[in-house]
């Protein structure tokens, strides 16, 4: 067998053992190696003293990380930071440190329930932990704080693209439903000084949202409200935004959320979903692969879906709304606009 003949086998083995990279990157994030290398190269021994780890064992992990391009091994002793590794710094504008830590927590364990989810169509997380992911987060403050960081990081990457793609108007009220720490709402209000905002989410989520709004300089134009979006959302808004919310839920509960928004809409109001839109047929390329993988994540973690345009249209119709347009953004997700349907 030639090396070329063996390439597919090796590629498959790389997929099979992908968990190794996940755990290595999470270790680097947990030990803050990227921060410790920010001032220049360090030896494994120096990093071990700083992190309270075993020097030889840490060297072996750093060598493996260097093979992945996260760090660079200079002379068999010193390690330095690469552009890839810089993204593990908490202060980097494109930081993925929260995602690295989140990936090896309850999410990592829940993925072992994939066979159950595929066999039954049920949520693997619920089977493993005996409750939904959101109920579990409410009982685990540290993990909830990390989850909020992950959601805020995702919102930060998409917020400017959404503001650039959609005209929110010069005045009125924007209600950000399940808006987390308020990253998207802050960007909208910052770009439109005539708008006011309402940040709406569960109590254990919005209790830590004020610093985000204050740092953005929009706290005085924003009200923070907590509640249950299955029951109702704050009424009278002109625009209701839901960023990566509907994909968390099955059709029945997604329709219930959208119905709450439809009932709360002011005259001429709009509901905006910020979601990725799945292609109607086979997709190609990295973005389609990431979307398909995330769709399985939604199945395992929450019982949700990534959806096609036709599937979003059916959800809106069942909730008393009408899809009016889909606006792509530079961040990969689209702004999916709806208004009240015909009476």
Domain end, chosen from 42, 61, 94, is at 94
Q: What is the pLDDT of residue 279?
A: 84
10-residue averages of pLDDT along the chain (343 residues) = 76 95 98 97 97 97 97 92 97 92 95 97 96 93 90 80 92 94 93 96 88 93 96 96 95 97 93 92 71 92 94 97 95 93 64
Is 247 known to be catalytic? Answer: yes
Helix (H, G, I), strand (E, B) or coil at 325: strand
Query: Given 43, 59, 94, which residue is the final one in a domain?
Result: 94
Total structural domains within the chain? 2
Give pLDDT, residue 306. Answer: 94
Tokens 């199945």 map to which residue? 299
In a domain, 147, yes or no: no
Q: What is the pLDDT of residues 158-172, one digit of tens each?
A: 888 999 999 998 889
Tokens of 334: 């689209």
pTM for the complete prediction? 0.85
pLDDT in tens, 98-153: 999 999 999 999 999 999 999 999 999 999 999 999 999 989 999 989 998 888 77
Extended strands (E) in 89-221: 172-177, 195-201
In a domain, 148, yes or no: no
Expressed as residue numbers, the domain containing 33 is: 3-94
Q: How many helices (H) and strands (E) does the chain have?
A: 18, 12
pLDDT at 158: 85
Q: What is the pLDDT of residue 283?
A: 64
Residue 257: both structure tokens together = 């959320």
Residues 307 and 195 in one domain: yes
Domain final residue, candidates 94, 121, 147: 94
Catalytic residue among 42, 133, 192, 247: 247
Examine the domain organization and report whether 66 and 162 are in the same domain: no
At 170 the pLDDT is 80
Task: Give dist(CA 178, CA 324) in Å, integer.
Answer: 22
**Same domain membership, residue 88 and residue 160:** no
């Amino acid at each position: 067998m030639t090396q070329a003949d063996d390439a597919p086998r090796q590629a498959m083995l790389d997929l099979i053992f992908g968990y190794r990279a996940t755990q290595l990157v999470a270790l680097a994030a947990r030990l803050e190696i990227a921060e410790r290398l920010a001032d220049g190269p360090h030896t494994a021994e120096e990093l071990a003293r700083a992190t309270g780890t075993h020097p030889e064992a840490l060297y072996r992990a750093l060598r493996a990380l260097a093979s992945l391009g996260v760090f660079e091994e200079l002379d068999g002793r010193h390690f330095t930071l690469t552009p890839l590794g810089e993204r593990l710094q908490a202060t980097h504008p494109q930081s993925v440190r929260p995602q690295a830590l989140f990936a090896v927590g309850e999410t990592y364990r829940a993925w072992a329930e994939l066979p159950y989810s595929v066999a039954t169509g049920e949520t693997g997380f619920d089977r493993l932990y005996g409750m939904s992911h959101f109920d579990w987060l409410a009982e685990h403050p540290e993990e909830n704080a990390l989850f909020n960081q992950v959601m805020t990081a995702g919102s930060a990457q998409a917020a400017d693209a959404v503001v650039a793609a959609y005209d929110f108007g010069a005045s009125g009220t924007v209600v950000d439903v399940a808006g987390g720490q308020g990253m998207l709402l802050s960007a909208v209000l910052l770009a439109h000084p005539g708008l006011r905002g309402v940040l709406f989410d569960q109590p254990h989520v919005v209790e830590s949202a004020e610093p985000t709004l204050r740092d953005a300089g929009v706290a005085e134009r924003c009200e923070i409200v907590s509640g249950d979006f299955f029951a109702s959302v704050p009424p009278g808004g002109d625009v209701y935004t839901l960023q990566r919310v509907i994909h968390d839920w099955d059709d029945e509960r997604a329709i219930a959320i959208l119905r709450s928004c439809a009932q709360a809409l002011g005259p001429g109001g709009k509901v905006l979903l910020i979601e990725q839109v799945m292609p109607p047929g086979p997709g190609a390329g990295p973005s389609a692969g990431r979307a398909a993988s995330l769709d399985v994540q939604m199945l395992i973690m929450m019982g949700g879906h990534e959806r096609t345009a036709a599937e979003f249209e059916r959800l809106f119709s069942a909730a008393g709304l009408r899809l009016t347009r889909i606006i792509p953004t530079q961040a990969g997700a689209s702004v999916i606009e709806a208004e009240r349907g015909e009476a």
